[in-house]
Amino acid sequence: MKSPFGWSLLLFALLAVSGGLSAKTTVSKQIAPGVEVVQTILDAADPGGPLMIHAVVVDPNRPGVRVEAWLGGDTVEEPNASREPLPLTAARAGAVAAVNGDFFSFTNGDPIGLHIHRGEIVSEPGIRSGAGFTADGRAVFGAAKLSATVKAPNGDSLAIGGLNRQGSGELILYAPIYGLKTPKAAATIVTLESGGKSIRSGVTLSAEVVSVSQEQDAVAIPPTGLVLSASGTSGEWLKSHLKPGDTIALTAKLTGGDKDWDAVTEFVSGGPSLMRNGSIFINTAAEQTGESFSTLRHPRTAVGARKDGRVVLAVLDGRQALSRGASLTETAQAMKDLGCVEAVNMDGGGSSTLWARGLIINSPSDGAARSITNSLLVFAEASLPASAATVVVPEPISVSSSVKPGRALGGGTDHVYGTQNGKVFVDQNGRLFGYKTGTARVGALNIKTGDRREWTVNAVPGEFSRLLTTWADGTLRVTSVDVNANTVPGTSVSFIKDNGSMIMVTTGDDGRALLPAGWLANENEPVTIKSGKVSRRWPDNAPPAPESKPPAAAGVIQVVP
């Protein structure tokens, strides 16, 4: 009998199917009983270009395996604490794997849509779909609507407009998960004692009014209570209907489709929907995601479920030479290829991160894990051996930014590979690739023994690939970059006017160089720019250059530090 920590390595070529993604290699590794990492890499020979797809497949029917929705910093809007990188959230919670969650406000970290954690409704829904789970691990997909009220002792009721967010003129309910204090606002404040009970769908909560006051500043949220805050007519209602010592009733109900929302204990919004009942289903208009958001290729995160109940958390890398990204339709097809019958899109771009066993498995487009507002964490009963040791390899590795691997780390099928901070990428065959310049930490974890190996990797610019040009302060600036947009110093660049005049510049340490002011009459004077095999015209709409002729003057070499 195989050990529950046994590995399976599947390395095979898949034939292209109509309407689908054609995989080049797929590697599957079990990281805990009921949890496996699956990585599919399409190389540059694929008709659409290279694409890296990383997934964690979770079997919630296995004892001890569950998926939960967690907030960054365990709070909604506490200043400087409501967002944190996914690896910090996952490690703090003791998860075995994780993926980023909802879209959010960069201003205050507030999730855009519905967030439920252990049954508590933390953030009310918007119009977009999401993914959630019941206590027994069943996946739930869709969009919900919230109806919530506060009922006074005389039977009068007032609708609650929002949960744990800023608002003006409407009634907002704050729980301790929001933070230590409410937002600063002129409002009628009702402080409640609820015995530590929270807002849940289908549950009526009784609470005692502790105080009713008119405030101009933020107020403390009781650790075992709640706060109602309102201005305008809603504020007047609170003052006229509630007084200290009253017992009030708070009710909340999530509805939408044929879902039993009362049974959902964990939920994170995203949107739009990608699959329904085994077919691709995307409605960007209904979920207001925008046409360009749908059709352009970006890094994507998606959550799906297979017919047998297993859950798929996936990231498709993008905005880099190693991986092109995906449209929503391509993302939906990738989820279908992973066996899903239901799926939904989550926040993407620089937020797209997949983490497992202490390592970032994908290649985040920012070159590092972005601070995010919430995530889906995978928990399992399995633990690493207590005798696990970490071996730090003393000699650093240097790797160039490229689409070709710079080194094979070794270790074989018993290891899961990843990074601590991005910048480089290592696939599950242990091949190391450069991406963003800088210093990275790379790790290989042996699941059988728990031992770890760690390397320091210096990522340096790769070969010159293309030239970027801008006009500023009366002159033309050129920037030499590699395939991943890292600047490349020491690149010789020729500028040739249509009359044959030529000048040469060499990019400095920052990969940039300036033409002498006045060498071009203005930003609309056409010029041909050449470096190696790369040739382009400035400006972009300039007519083709005339047939080449000898330069009218000797070339000038200018080195710009």
Residue ending a domain, choose from 255, 289, 318? 255
Rounded to whole angstroms, the Cα distance separating 402 from 46 reads 18
> In terms of domains, do 349 and 300 share one?
yes
Q: Which domain holds residue 335?
A: 35-107+270-379
Sign of the alpha-carbon torsion through 407, 409, 410, 413: negative
How far, CA to CA in Å, does 18 sit from each of 22, 282, 309, 337? 9, 19, 26, 12
> In terms of domains, do 230 and 301 share one?
no
pLDDT reading at 520 higher than 50: yes
pLDDT reading at 22 higher than 80: no
pLDDT digits (tens, 9 = 90+) for 458-467: 999 999 999 9
> In terms of domains, do 397 and 434 share one?
yes
Q: Which amino acid is at 359?
A: L
Beta bridge partners, 487, equal 481
> In terms of domains, do 472 and 555 share one?
yes
Residue 193 lies in a domain: yes
Residue ending a domain, choose from 379, 408, 433? 379
> In terms of domains, do 451 and 470 share one?
no
Region 515-542: mean pLDDT is 94
> In terms of domains, do 285 and 374 share one?
yes
- The DSSP string of 193-240 is E-TT----TTEEEEEEEEEEEEESS--BPPTTEEEEEE-HHHHHHHHH
Residue ending a domain, choose from 404, 439, 460? 460
Q: Are the C-beta atoms of 301 and 131 separated by less than 8 Å?
A: no
Identify the weakest region by mean pLDDT among 86-90, 93-97, 153-157, 447-451: 447-451
Beta bridge partners, 517, equal none
Residue 56 lies in a domain: yes
Region 334-356: mean pLDDT is 98
Q: Which two tokens stand for residue 87?
A: 């690896």
Write down the pLDDT at residue 550. Answer: 52
> In terms of domains, do 312 and 284 share one?
yes
Q: Which amino acid is at 480?
A: S
> In terms of domains, do 448 and 476 share one?
no
Write down the pLDDT at residue 412. Answer: 74
pLDDT digits (tens, 9 = 90+) for 303-338: 999 999 999 999 999 999 999 999 999 999 999 999
Q: What is the side-by-side strand order in the sheet with 512-514?
A: 466-472, 475-481, 512-514
Residue 262 lies in a domain: no
Could you give phi then psi for residue 334, rounded to 5 degrees? -60, -40
Residue 196 lies in a domain: yes
Rounded to whole angstroms, the Cα distance separating 499 from 205 reads 82
Residue 13 lies in a domain: no
> In terms of domains, do 412 and 479 share one?
no
Write down the pLDDT at residue 549. Answer: 55
> In terms of domains, do 364 and 418 share one?
no
Residue 117 lies in a domain: no
Going by C-alpha positions, the residue among 323, 328, 395 that lies closest to residue 354 is: 323
> In terms of domains, do 488 and 528 share one?
yes
* pLDDT > 90 in the chain, percent: 83
Helix or strand or coil: residue 364? coil
Residue 337 contacts by C-beta under 8 Å, 6 or more apart in sequence? 20, 21, 23
> In terms of domains, do 510 and 429 share one?
no
Beta bridge partners, 343, equal 275, 304
Going by C-alpha positions, the residue among 71, 75, 83, 67 that lies closest to residue 132 is: 67
Q: Cα 390 to the chain's mean position, in Å? A: 29
Write down the pLDDT at residue 18. Answer: 32
What CATH number does the domain containing 475 carry?
Answer: 2.60.40
Q: Are the C-beta atoms of 371 and 72 separated by less than 8 Å?
A: yes
pTM, entire model:
0.91
pLDDT digits (tens, 9 = 90+) for 234-282: 999 999 999 999 999 999 999 999 999 999 999 999 999 999 999 999 9
pLDDT digits (tens, 9 = 90+) for 108-160: 888 999 999 999 999 999 999 999 999 999 999 999 999 999 999 999 999 99
Residue 269 sits at the vertex; the CA angle it makes with 267 and 376, to the nearest 5 degrees, is: 55
pLDDT reading at 290 higher than 90: no
Going by C-alpha positions, the residue among 441, 490, 440, 438 that lies closest to residue 463 is: 490
Residue 496 lies in a domain: yes
pLDDT reading at 4 higher than 60: no
HEC per residue, 399-444? EEECCCCCEECCCHHHEEEEECCCCEEECCCCEEEECCCEEEEEEE
Q: Are the C-beta atoms of 224 and 193 separated by less than 8 Å?
A: yes
Residue 263 lies in a domain: no
Region 95-105: mean pLDDT is 96
What CATH number does the domain containing 422 carry?
Answer: 2.60.40.60
Write down the pLDDT at residue 386. Answer: 61
pLDDT digits (tens, 9 = 90+) for 157-196: 999 999 999 988 899 999 999 999 999 999 999 999 999 9
Q: Which two tokens stand for residue 369?
A: 């894990």
Q: How many domains does the chain have?
A: 4
What CATH number does the domain containing 232 carry?
Answer: 2.60.120
pLDDT digits (tens, 9 = 90+) for 477-499: 999 999 999 999 999 999 999 99
Identify the weakest region by mean pLDDT among 71-85, 442-456, 471-485: 71-85
Write down the pLDDT at residue 11. Answer: 34
pLDDT confidence band for 106 (50 / 70 / 90): confident
